[in-house]
Amino acid sequence: MRVAVPREIKPAEQRVGLVPAGATQLVRDGHEVFVETGAGEGSGFGDDAYTAAGAEVVDRTTVWERAELLVKVKEPAAEEYGFLRPDLTLFAYLHLAADRPLTEALLAAGTTAVAFETVRAGRILPLLQPMSEIAGRLAAQSAAHHLQSNAGGPGLLMGGVPGVAAAKVVVIGGGAVGTQAALMASGLMADVTVLDANGARIRELTDLLGHRARVLMSDEHVLEDEISGADVVIGAVLVPGAAAPKLVRREHLGILHDHALLVDVAIDQGGCFETSRPTTYDDPTFEVDGITHYCVANMPGAVPRTATRALANATTPYLRRLARGPEQALAADPEFAAGLNTAAGRIRHAGVAQAFADLPAQLG
């Protein structure tokens, strides 16, 4: 099969969908690999490394045109929609439930689209987890930075100092993102509270975090009480494949400190704050009703040398299976098949179908 790797074009996105070691494995498996010029530079992999691995380095148009199986990190941008076609299988982060234009483009083109973020392995989302862990850690780091006055914040040190209180950080959601955000924030000596609605997960987090954070069962009243006293609120809620629930609504902004910072890590899935909208590292924050929002949609893109390697560790085994034949690979493994989001002009994932009930779907 012809496997192709384009250069990412999303702002400040330096990750790449395949590392040279993965290219070597694919070539040894008998596949042809095409990599766009400069695709790996931001992650520390020059074109020579891909050539040495047996890949052919080509221009942007060629990489898309030759692809039978195209692997990238972030979803295709609007200027890439014209490359979509029915004989192409796309393997990437897609987050379609929050992106109607891309969903419509994939359906119109008849492209088979397999989303990293909905592939399952038991309770785990194995291709999402490494980026969730990185995003969680970056959420706490970014919050600490944006509390500083030189970054436009109120001038708070996340961990305080002896005799001066630490910043109060509330993390909504105790999955991979929330856990790592809580660990990082507590490591910075913040006053951390984690809210989750799953009793079993609350017990796990209590054991994991110990005395470093409070872990509370979330309901509407608890959420309001906790965020009203927070300096930072980190939204880390995920419903796999579906739009994120809006847990912090606009009316809640009125009960927040006037210097509070909202960090919405769920923004790829539409955000879990009603007032969120995607931002970029070039312009990461905005204000609504005087409350600062940080909603960068590709947070791990800021650490591509770490993130690309972590992502490749997870995705390359699945990519090799897809390269042997997408239909066979998905048919043989229902948990892998959970990654199928579109095919033959139909939505194939329940969460995406729920988000766009008027678009054609084929479930089950």
Q: Give 296-340 as a DSSP string.
A: BTTGGGGSHHHHHHHHHHHHHHHHHHHHT-HHHHHHT-HHHHTTE
β-pairing verdict for 89-92 and 69-71? parallel
Taking the domain 132-302, which CATH number applies? 3.40.50.720
Hey, what are 324's tokens?
């042997």
**Model pLDDT, residue 23:** 98
Q: pLDDT by residue (tens digit) across 290-323?
A: 999 999 999 999 999 999 999 999 999 999 999 9
The answer, yes or no, to whether residue 242 has pLDDT greater than 90, is no
Give catalytic status of residue 268 as yes or no.
yes
What is the average pLDDT across 219-232? 96
**pLDDT, greater one: 242 or 305:** 305
User: 364 pLDDT band (50/70/90 cuts)?
Assistant: confident
39 pLDDT band (50/70/90 cuts)?
A: very high
Q: What share of the chain is helix, strand, coil (3-state, %, to 5)?
A: 40, 20, 40
**Numbered ranges of CATH 3.40.50.720 in the chain:** 2-119+303-355, 132-302
What is the tens place of the pLDDT at every residue in 157-188? 999 999 999 999 999 999 999 999 999 999 99
Using one digit for the tens of pLDDT, what is the confidence trace for 49-70?
999 999 999 999 999 999 999 9
Choose, from 31, 95, 146, 252, the residue flagged as catalytic: 95
pLDDT (0 to 100) of residue 111: 98
For the beta carbon of residue 28, count every other beta carbon within 10 angstroms: 11
Residue 170 confidence (pLDDT)? 98
* Tally of residues, the chain: 364
In the sheet where 56-58 sits, what is the strand order?
56-58, 32-36, 2-5, 69-71, 89-92, 112-115, 340-343, 346-347
Active site residue 358: no
**Confidence (pTM):** 0.92
Q: Write down the CATH number for the domain with range 2-119+303-355.
A: 3.40.50.720
Q: Which residue in the list 252, 264, 268, 349 is annotated as catalytic?
A: 268
Q: Return the pLDDT at 239.
A: 82
